[in-house]
Structure 1
Amino acid sequence: MNESHASAGPPDPARILVVDDDLTVGEVVAGYLTRAGHLVDRAGDGSQGLDLARAHRPDLLVLDLMLPGIDGLEVLRRLRASEDGVDLPVVLLTAKGDEADRILGLELGADDYVTKPFSPRELVLRVQSVLRRSRLGGPTASPAVPLACGDITLDPRARRAHRAGRELLLTLREFDLLTFFLRHPGAVFSRQELMQRVWGWDFGDLSTVTVHVRRLREKIEDDPAAPALISTVWGVGYRYDPATDEKAGPA
């Protein structure tokens, strides 16, 4: 997958944790990220990766799925289950044939993935794209004013969202997707359009969008199995329907 924003300049230096048991891959990835101006920590297994993530709170995690002991999926599952790790940006490293694990990683809240074998430069560009989205709010962030739509309120600058006064614990991608829906209530968007306008990707695996819509439904719907807010428009895509007749606008 290529990203339309890949040619933009690097973000401010970030602290990045690379978790990979392959020493060669880890060294190469760390070297490229360091040359891009980032501070890099490394871990060789899932247990060490969890310890470092909790101790240092990185700005982004590069996580291999195939790890000894605690595998990458379990690392991601434990991070997303903790308050400190629920919104930590995560880029997965996956093997070409591991589509099921890749989809499961997205369902657990990964923000992006790179398939092995990969170009280290491509990985750096993906990392920088996710960092930009994390810090600036991504393609959905302008204007960065609070939104209210139905009983959901959202502050793009603070990256906090609430429904009926209850804070929603959202990953980076889920937050961006909800922001986009709140800005366009009642409009129908295909998965391709959402990938372009929310993810910033010109093309890619459309199942990524499907997975994140499902995850978002689990957090904002009263009954995710019978969604009332994010409706599926069969043969077209998805539509956000506010819980009331209020229109999106400043909160």
Structure 2
Amino acid sequence: MKVFLVLALAIASASAGFLPQTNFVHPRKRTFTPSIGGRITNGENAVADQFPYQVGLSFSASILRGWWCGGSIISNNFVLTAAHCTSGASSVVIYYGATVRTSPKFTQTVSSSDFIQHASYNSVVLRNDISLIKTPSVTFSSSVNKIALPAIASSYSTYVGQTAVASGWGLTSDTASAVAKNLQFVDLTVISNADCVKSFSSLIVTSRVICVATPNAHSTCQGDSGGPLALDGTLIGITSFGSPDGCEVGSPAGFTRVTSYLDWIKENSGV
């Protein structure tokens, strides 16, 4: 598969007046040049069928360059990803059942007319960074299957102190030059929003965000945007943002908190 160039770094600026002096960057937006290599920083190689809910998303745009994101299968005909991944795209090629990124079990091409991006997505303060992609129906197998959404009863769980797993084909380090050939995963510990807000603005770290610690340069990175953060086989987060200083600097990584959007998901997908 062609490795797409991503957009130039886009950082929220304090010049907006009410915004504090805190920057962030979507993992989609760290620039790289095309070559094979790179993954979640300091992660491990996934084995076949380990993450059957993980999909790769190769977005195209009519004017802008294309970009790579991740997503999660939540039903036979819906994929969940980040709004900053679908924003500005005209279509997407969905890669199903891949461990080696270039060797999916099959692909589907979906037009932006089947994107359901949150109507109140705000790229400046990362509000409502969530989108659905309606797909032709897929048949589940050991390689391609859905991930469970949290129960309504867990909506008030903070998950603080629990270890969740992030997966994707993002960069291996801040000096890496391309998205990964092999699917990677890393275990990350959920931290409190009070700890996360020490690195990012309280306008960004709201109750609808979940953050993880990134010790020893273990983190999500460019190319992981929109991908899953899973806890015991349940999707609790969607990769959303990190520090503009890099993936290995030890700053928290931010995810859209899925429990905050269960009603929105149900209203728009029936799931």
Asked which structure has the greater CA Rg, the reply is 1
TM over 0.5: no
Return the structure number with greater strand share: 2
Q: Which has the higher contact order (CA 8 A, sep 6+)?
A: 2
Question: TM-score if structure 2 supplies the norm length?
Answer: 0.26
